[in-house]
Amino acid sequence: MAQKKEVKLRAFRISQQLPITHAQIALVDALNTKLINSKAKTRMMQRNANDKEYDLISYYNFDNGTFFGVNLRVITDFTSPQIDYILLESQNFSLEQLEDGHAPNTVYKSHYYFCLNNTYIVTNLPGNSTIIGFQTYLNWLLYTATNPYEINPLCKSTPDIKLSEIKEVIFEDDYAFSSYRRSPHDLEQTENKIFDIAYGALRTIFNDITGLQEEEMKQVISAKLLLSIKKPRNMTEDDYQRIYGALLKPIAETEHLQYVSKSGQRFSSEEIEVSSKVNIETTEKGFLVEEQLRQSMIVFLNNLTI
């Protein structure tokens, strides 16, 4: 019996701000035009100058207005190629081909799947990563940096939770703002900055604590960042949802966020963000069955009517 793995799919909204004189081009059509008959090597985006890290869409599939793909991150060096030349010259290659020794020296870093239409994208991007990296790659690939596509987390109101009723967002002291996974040192620096703000405020209010050392204070108190939010009366619920999505966009590990309603009720990010959990069969090598995942993603896409 095939083993199954639970996969969390996260949903995002796609938009593009264009001048009035520019005609809107559907995203899926733009990708189709760009990628048709393309080679994998032409889709490799170098993350930084003189950097050996590259992002690329190693495999993709168009189907009835949807685009499914694999975003792969590898380390290579064009002066001494580590990915098999035949793979880079091909239109698509699979993860199995890397594993089977077609590219024995490739340094594999990570990968994730995504499926999009002209309005939404769903992905199994890990929760400790933001969508900013994919947005950067997409605009690089389509040469749309001057009129970029914006991808923001999709948020929802439910019968029990209305976004307009939420007045505060609490960031715990181990949260992270990040466009990529941050190091433990970066997280410690962020925590220290939040603590310094809180410690400074306490010293101003309570003169008695001026004799205490900062390290002593750190042992007995922690700091949180609280964001107060108010919905303008003339703002539509749809616009308010977009603002919430933009707020969450640069935040990694959103499970550390707590939302507080006007009545004092608390909610987690799981209840605010649009996501879905699906069970996908795995191959003997432990890979997800991609066609099964693709179909599950398309079903999720079709159900996004927010």
- Do 227 and 190 share a structural domain? yes
Overall number of domains in the chain? 2
Is it the case that residue 102 has pLDDT exceeding 90? no
- List the domain range (segments joined by +) for residue 111: 4-154+275-302
Task: Give phi and psi for 299, each to the nearest 5.
Answer: -60, -45
pLDDT at 57 over 80: yes
- Cα separation, 235 vs 237, in Å, equals 7
pLDDT band of residue 158 (cuts 50, 70, 90) is low
Query: Are residues 138 and 241 located together in one domain of the fold?
Result: no
Q: Reply yes or no on whether the pLDDT at 35 is more than 90.
A: yes
**Tens of pLDDT along 232-249?**
777 776 666 666 666 666
155-164, 215-224, 241-250: which has the minimum mean pLDDT?
A: 215-224
User: What letter would DSSP give residue 165?
Assistant: G
Confidence of residue 114 (pLDDT cuts 50, 70, 90): very high
Scan for tokens 């985006």, then name that residue.
45
State the average pLDDT for the chain: 75
Q: Are residues 72 and 104 in the same domain?
A: yes
Q: Which residues contact residue 236 at a Cβ distance below 8 angstroms, ignoring those fewer than 6 apart?
A: none
Pairing type for strands 176-177 and 251-252 reads antiparallel
Query: If you compute the radius of gyration of the chain from its CA atoms, what whole number of angstroms results?
Result: 22
> 223 with 248, same domain?
yes
Same domain, 209 and 115: no
Which of 1-10, 176-185, 225-234 shows the lowest mean pLDDT across its residues? 176-185
Q: Are residues 289 and 258 in the same domain?
A: no
pLDDT on residue 215: 58
pLDDT at 276: 93
User: In terms of domains, do 28 and 120 share one?
Assistant: yes
Residue 115, pLDDT score:
97
> What is the rounded CA–CA span in Å between residue 235 and residue 287?
45
Q: Does residue 92 sit in the same domain as residue 196?
A: no
For residue 291, pLDDT over 90 is answered with: yes
Task: Give yes or no: residues 54 and 179 share one domain.
Answer: no
Q: Is the pLDDT of residue 156 over 50?
A: yes
User: How far is Cα 165 from Cα 260, in angstroms, rounded to an integer?
Assistant: 9
Lowest mean pLDDT among 100-114, 212-226, 243-257: 212-226
Highest mean pLDDT among 15-19, 94-98, 110-114 belongs to 110-114
Q: Are residues 243 and 286 in the same domain?
A: no
For residue 159, pLDDT over 70 is answered with no
**Same-domain check for residues 188 and 105:** no
Q: For residue 9, is pLDDT > 60? A: yes
CB 34 within 8 A of CB 142: yes
Shared domain for 287 and 263, answered yes or no, is no
- Greater confidence (201 vs 73) lies with 73
